[in-house]
Chains A and B, each alone.
Chain A
């Protein structure tokens, strides 16, 4: 799997958009970008994934650059419950369906 790099921590005001960046400069053509989050002491939660087109679902939007070397997860209206560690991972067939999280970004949403 391609290595991903994320900032260690970010802050966001409640009600504002949270934009979480991820670099994956060595991503290969068949690797998808997946985002998960983990709220303290809970199981990880799938958020969204994409290959090269921008994606949106009820939780978030995923913007992938044209060269696919980086992406941004957007939470349009962050709430206090969005405080969590967010993980960006690049996954292809070689990973054998096993998820491995790196350090992730600790997002703190402030009132």
Chain B
């Protein structure tokens, strides 16, 4: 059974700091991994999607890496801004027996001005 864990559960940093959010998963047979952000009372916004054959994806100040063999992904946020404050969710789509997507519980990020 696929389990997705995100560490830390919450993080508070001063503006301008670089930070790393961690995601681990127990079954390496994944189809892809996706990072989302969720703002309070709102739906999810896709940030980056990494295919199972890829090792990283970049978008602006965001960089996501994937190491399937160790069951880990990281989301790196450079030069954090108060507008980055949100909950960040990692989601893994399994590669066999259907395409069910399993989400982690998220990391709540607060960037202080």
Partners in one complex: no
